[in-house]
Amino acid sequence: MKLVTAIVKPFKLDDVKNALELIGIAGLTVSEVQGFGRQRGHTEVYRGAEYQVDFVPKVRIEVVVSELDAARVVDAVVESASTGQIGDGKVWVTTIDEIVRVRTGERGADAL
């Protein structure tokens, strides 16, 4: 099984969610995160005092899928989250050893 993790622009969350639903993904987890990449931060000005805000708000989406689905999920995220501008984010795939559905105790693919 694979864990697909995507960091995307917050305003793209709905598009990504819709795209993943379209390809039949049964569930995902979303969190608000902040950090920096090539986009770096932005400046804010309060009564003329300028602040460099290094961290930019992003959304992290996590999906656990079977190995076969991982590539399709990655493609769907990239396609739906892309604006072509700097700061569009990243997607990566990691292997996970075990997954358990808490309610039933099912393991592996049955737990997805």
Return residues touching another protein (CB under 8 A): 44-51, 53
Minimum distance from CB of 55 to another protein (Å)? 11
Closer of 23 and 33 to another protein (Cβ): 33
Closer of 46 and 85 to another protein (Cβ): 46
Rounded alpha-carbon distances, angstroms, from residue 110 to 27, 38, 41, 61, 100: 13, 39, 42, 21, 9
Minimum distance from CB of 46 to another protein (Å)? 6
Helix ranges restricted to H, 50-95: 67-81
Pair 36, 89: CB distance under 8 Å: no
Closer of 45 and 96 to another protein (Cβ): 45
